[in-house]
Chain A
């Protein structure tokens, strides 16, 4: 029961505290608008009525948790998933470009890492740029990529997936370089005494050693990939996707919609990261790794 005492109780307590805090802030932040509305309607509600009203506005400054939950539930489970009011539909649009970009990015990252490990010239000329590019706000080019691709007639999935690719290949490349270099001299010497060729050393020693690094960096990459897909949906006035939903909500001040789109994005993020984590554990176990 250690896990219960050490982890679950503190986390639940803290989350419950956050929800209470959220309600308090919702009342405080919605109160001025509500007072204004009541004055105009000539009403003078009692205190408890007033609180109830602040938590049930149509376009609140800060929607109460139950409003967001209701909206999220309605738009997720009660609508047809092909309808463009369904969050499942929007999440699917974002998810598909995330996954495509993530797949491209992972493959590209692995290829670059293999090149860097094998060619010293590539290591010394490319590696500094990979590290330097981490310091650059790459997301800033997202709108340009989307618009420029639209100008040559490429729209839809591909431009968004490219931005996700760009964001997700860095963590994978850096992690894989580390992973492919992780075997110690001792093991490399052992391969040497076996008279192993470079490709045998690569497949039988370096690749298995790099798997934990690969999955750790893929977790980071998949989260970055989702952020890339969402931001890529912002500029074009995109019609579908979680980013488009955020933007539409911002235009029409549909705060509850924004919050439920955020919740949808978070759910997708948690699902993706968990999936990668589970895949990593399965692969490690099937390779004979024991849980530490």
Chain B
């Protein structure tokens, strides 16, 4: 066995490096700030050395670190160097970005194959791998939009979206306050509460349950979002109409899931409760609701996304001059695409935080469930 065991990603990265070396310079003459010789050399050295060293007989952990440093160092230098050269990047620039990306891919592959014994390290890896993936989406996006000079109105680079985000915090905060803290939260609480109460009622009255379940299942396939214009007419332009849309959208998932969850406790356990002579409400509180908790939390999670969508889309039908949906639709009209992306980033963040908060509560409440225990 030879000393080298080169992966196809590293080999391809080296090939790209060689082609790039013959087609220099990195950026065309029309750019105002060409890459210096030193920078170019450093980029080549980072990519080439990382590819070569990772192919030698080093431990996997060391290879991963070297690949990580090489790929991201090269990417950083390339992106930093593109300033002033927007739209002037030539083939070697993209070849080197591709080479760095291949190295990062190799790095992730090596990391995925690691089986660390330490719990903390394994958690760290579980977070690091998707982070690298996400970072590379941003790097490639930045490199392509700025390197190829894609018009700003089509797709702004992530860096300028970030700048826009930081510069318009007050506006974004006002939108979040209107959409999240009024429409979404109020609608979510009322909708989920009503769905839950109806589910308990349906549980007491079997006739109601048999009638409601098929209807609830069918409604979940319908484009409920279409009621938004009607509710905007009824409740006016302010957040009340958006909250009403959210109530309708969150009601049925909660109803269907809770009814399913209340049927989840086993016969044995229910019989046990009967031998304890416990009544309907005691059984409900001590046995059936805890058993239904995973289903209820599932509905809460589904609803967290639905609520955001409902509130934002309802704002397309008319709002006061504030709100995330309003901002998106007007800024699109004014071709301020970076502001739209900033708003989307905020919406994504808000959605993830909302979901994450519910998931945390779920872990605390259903600590006994196999999916949480990990058993």
Task: Choose from B133, B229, B305 the contact partner of A135 (Cβ within 8 Å).
Answer: B305
Chain B 219-241 residues near chain A, CB threshold 8 A: 220-223, 225-227, 229-230, 232-234
List B residues at the A interface (Cβ < 8 Å).
Answer: 105, 108-109, 111-113, 126, 129-130, 132-134, 153-155, 207-208, 210-212, 214-215, 218, 220-223, 225-227, 229-230, 232-234, 304-305, 308-309, 312-313, 316-318, 324-325, 328-329, 332-333, 335, 337, 340-341, 343-344, 347-348, 351-352, 354-356
Can you identify 17 A-B contacts, CB atoms within 8 angstroms?
Answer: A125-B133, A126-B130, A135-B305, A136-B305, A136-B348, A137-B309, A137-B347, A140-B328, A141-B340, A152-B154, A231-B225, A235-B316, A246-B226, A250-B233, A258-B229, A258-B230, A273-B221
Q: How far is the CA of A12 from the CA of B305 in the complex (A)?
A: 32
A10 contacts B by Cβ under 8 Å: yes
Q: Does any Cβ of B come within 8 Å of A46's Cβ?
A: no
Let me know if B223 and A137 touch, CB within 8 A.
Answer: no
Question: A231–B126 Cα gap in the complex (Å)?
Answer: 36
Complex Cα spacing A13 to B130, Å: 51
Known A120-B113, A247-B229, A253-B233; judge A269-B351 contact (CB<8 A). no
Tell me the minimal C-beta distance from A133 to chain B in angstroms.
8
Question: What 0/1 readout, one digit per residue, does chain A (258-285) give for beta carbons within 8 Å of chain B?
Answer: 1101100110011001000000000000
Q: Are B211 and A120 in contact (CB under 8 A)?
A: no
> Does A14 belong to the interface (CB within 8 Å)?
yes
Asked if A11 meets B223 with Cβ closer than 8 Å, knowing A125-B132, A129-B134, the reply is no
How many whole Å from A28's CB to the nearest CB in chain B? 12
- A9 to chain B: closest CB distance in Å? 8
A219 at the interface (CB under 8 A from B): yes
Taking CB as reference atom, which chain B residue is nearest A253?
Answer: B233
Interface residues of A in 164-197 (CB under 8 A from B): none
- A108 to B154 alpha-carbon distance, docked (Å): 24
Given A6-B210, A15-B215, A135-B304: A125 in contact with B233 (beta carbons within 8 A): no
Residues of A within 8 A of B211 (CB): 10-11, 13-14
Whether A121 contacts B109 in the complex (CB less than 8 A), given A137-B351, A270-B218, comes out as yes
**Are B210 and A148 neighbours in the complex by a CB distance under 8 Å?**
no
Range, interface on chain A: 35 or more
- Is there contact, CB below 8 Å, between A266 and B223? yes
- Nearest-neighbour CB distance to chain B for A126, whole angstroms, equals 7
The residue of chain B having its C-beta at the shortest distance from the C-beta of A10 within the complex is B211
- The residue that B222 contacts in the complex, of A126, A246, A258, A269, with Cβ under 8 A, is A269
Q: Which residue of A lies closest to B358 (CB)?
A: A135
Docked Cα-Cα span, A261 to B227, in Å, equals 10
Residues of A within 8 A of B207 (CB): 10, 13
Q: Which of B126, B215, B309, B356 has the most CB of A within 10 A?
A: B309
A136, A141, A219: the one contacting B351 at CB < 8 Å is A136
- Give the chain B neighbours of A121 by CB distance below 8 A: 105, 108-109, 112, 129
Find chain A residues with CB under 8 A from B317 CB. 234, 247, 250
Bits for A99-134, please: 1 = Cβ < 8 Å to B, else 0.
Answer: 000000000000000000000110111111100101
User: In the complex, which residue of chain A has the Cβ closest to the Cβ of B359?
Assistant: A135
Residues of chain A lying within 8 A (CB to CB) of residue B218: 270
Evaluate contact between A140 and B309: CB separation under 8 angstroms.
yes
Q: Is the CB of B210 within 8 A of A261?
A: no
* A16-59 interface (Cβ within 8 A of B): 29
**A56-70, CB < 8 A from B:** 61
Q: A135-B304, A243-B226, A249-B229 are in contact. List 12 more A-B contacts (CB 8 A).
A: A61-B234, A120-B109, A125-B112, A137-B312, A139-B309, A140-B325, A141-B340, A144-B328, A144-B332, A147-B332, A227-B225, A258-B229
Given contacts A14-B211, A137-B351, A250-B233, contact A219 B223 (CB under 8 A): no
Q: Which residues of B contact A217 (CB under 8 A)?
A: none
- Enumerate chain A residues within 8 angstroms of B329, measured Cβ to Cβ: 143, 235
In this assembly, does A95 line the interface, its C-beta being within 8 Å of a C-beta of chain B? no
Task: Say yes or no: A125-B129 contact (C-beta < 8 A), given A10-B210, A231-B225, A269-B223.
Answer: yes
Residues of A within 8 A of B351 (CB): 135-137
Is A292 interfacial (CB-CB < 8 Å)?
Answer: no
Residues in B with CB closer than 8 Å to A97 are none
Residues in A with CB closer than 8 Å to B318 are 250
Complex Cα–Cα for A126 and B233 (A): 42
In the A-B complex, the 5 residue pairs with the smallest Cβ-Cβ separation, listed nearest first, are: A10-B211, A250-B229, A14-B211, A125-B133, A135-B355
The residues of B that contact A269 with a CB separation of less than 8 Å are: 221-223
Q: Is the CB of A270 within 8 A of B153?
A: no
Residues of A within 8 Å of B223, CB to CB, are 223, 226-227, 230, 242, 262, 265-266, 269
A266 contact set on B, CB distance < 8 A = 222-223
Nearest-CB residue, chain B, relative to A229 = B223
* A259–B305 CB distance below 8 A: no
Chain B CB within 8 A of A255 CB: yes
CA distance A141 to B345 in the complex (A): 10
A287 within 8 A of B: no
Q: How far is the CA of A250 from the CA of B212 in the complex (A)?
A: 30
Query: A249: nearest residue on chain B (CB-CB)?
Result: B229
Given B133, B215, B220, B337, which contacts A129 in the complex, CB threshold below 8 Å?
B133
What residue in chain A is nearest B304 (Cβ atoms)? Answer: A135
Task: Give Cα distance in the complex from A152 to B152, angstroms.
Answer: 12
Contact with B along A213-241 (1 / 0, CB 8 A): 00000010001001100110011000000
- Looking at B113, B207, B223, the one whose CB has the most chain A CB atoms below 10 A away is B223
B109 CB to nearest A CB, Å:
4
A151 within 8 A of B: yes
| Whole-angstrom CA separation of A123 from B129 in the bound complex | 10
The reply to whether B226 and A261 contact each other, CB–CB distance below 8 Å, is yes
CA distance A106 to B296 in the complex (A): 29
Question: In the complex, are the beta carbons of A10 and B208 less than 8 A apart?
Answer: yes
- The answer, among B222, B233, B352, for a CB contact under 8 Å with A255, is B233
A7 within 8 A of B: yes
